[in-house]
Amino acid sequence: MVGDGVEIRVLGPVEVIVGGRAANLGGQRAHQVLAALLMEAGRAVSADELIDAVWDDNPPASARTQLSIQVSTLRRALADAGCERELIETTQHGYRLNDQEARIDLAEAERLQSEAQVAGDLEDAADRLRAALALWRGTALRDLSTRALSASAQRLAELRLTIAEQLYDVEFALGRYRQAIAELSALVAEQPLREHLRALLMTALWRSGRPAEALECYRDGRRLLVEELGIEPGRELRELERAVLAGAAPDEPQAGQETVVPAELPLGVPTFTGREAAIRRLRDLLASARPRPAPIAALAGPGGVGKSELAVHVGHLLADAFPDGQLYVDLRGSTPDVAPLEPAEVLGRFLRSLGAADGAVPAETDEAAARFRSMTNDLRLLVVLDNALDVGQVEPLIPAGQDCRTIVTSRRILGALPGAVHEPLEVLPEEDAIALLGRLVGRVDLADPEQRQAAADVVRLCGALPLAVSIAASRLTSRPSWTLPTLADRLATTDQGCRRLSELQTEDRGVRASFQVSYQELDDRQQRLFRQINLLDAADVGVPVVAAMAEISTSTAEDLLESLVDMQLLESHTPGR
**pLDDT, tens digit, for every residue of 467-492?**
888 888 888 777 777 778 887 878 77
Res 432 pLDDT > 70:
yes
Residue 345 CA: distances (Å) to CA of 263, 312, 366, 389: 19, 22, 12, 15
User: Which has the higher per-residue pLDDT, 111 or 271?
Assistant: 111
Of the ranges 31-45, 146-160, 171-185, 278-292, which one carries the lowest mean pLDDT score?
278-292
Determine the Cα–Cα distance for residues 231 and 219; give it in Å rounded to an integer.
13
Q: Is cis: bond before 575, omega within 30 of 0? A: no
Average pLDDT over residues 11-22: 87
pLDDT at 443 (0 to 100): 67
Per residue in 494-539, pLDDT (tens digit) is: 555 556 665 666 555 556 656 676 777 778 888 888 888 888 777 7
DSSP string, 81-117: TT--S--EEE-SSEEEE-TTSSEEHHHHHHHHHHHHH
Domains in the chain, CATH or no CATH each: 1-172 (1.10.10.10), 177-252 (1.25.40.10), 276-424 (3.40.50.300), 430-512 (no CATH)
Give me the mean pLDDT over the 244-269 stretch: 66
Query: Would you say residue 379 has pLDDT above 90?
Result: no
Give the ranges where 134-234 is alpha helix by DSSP (H).
Answer: 147-173, 181-190, 195-207, 211-224
The predicted-structure confidence for 21-79, as pLDDT tens digits, reads as follows 888 888 888 899 999 998 888 888 888 888 888 888 788 889 889 999 999 999 998 88
Three-state secondary-structure class, residue 50? helix
The residue among 133, 156, 48, 60 whose CA lies nearest residue 93 is 48
How far apart CA 574 and CA 373 sit, in angstroms, is 41
Which DSSP letter does residue 199 get?
A: H
Average pLDDT in the chain? 84
What pLDDT sits at residue 462?
83
pLDDT value, residue 504: 62
| Closest of 79, 26, 35, 33 to residue 54, by C-alpha | 33
Q: Is the pLDDT of residue 251 over 60?
A: no
- Average pLDDT over every residue of 294-320: 90
Average pLDDT over residues 254-262: 55
Question: What is the pTM assigned to this prediction?
Answer: 0.57
Neighbours of 212 (CB within 10 A): 10
Q: Which of the four pLDDT bands, split at 50, 70 and 90, describes residue 133?
A: very high
Closest CA to 398 of 467, 491, 473, 331: 331
Q: Kindly report, residue by residue over 269-300, the tens digit of the pLDDT.
A: 778 888 899 999 999 888 876 545 678 999 99
Dist CA 241 CA 200 (whole Å): 12
Is residue 340 over pLDDT 70? yes
Q: Distance of alpha carbon 229 from its chain centroid, rounded?
A: 25
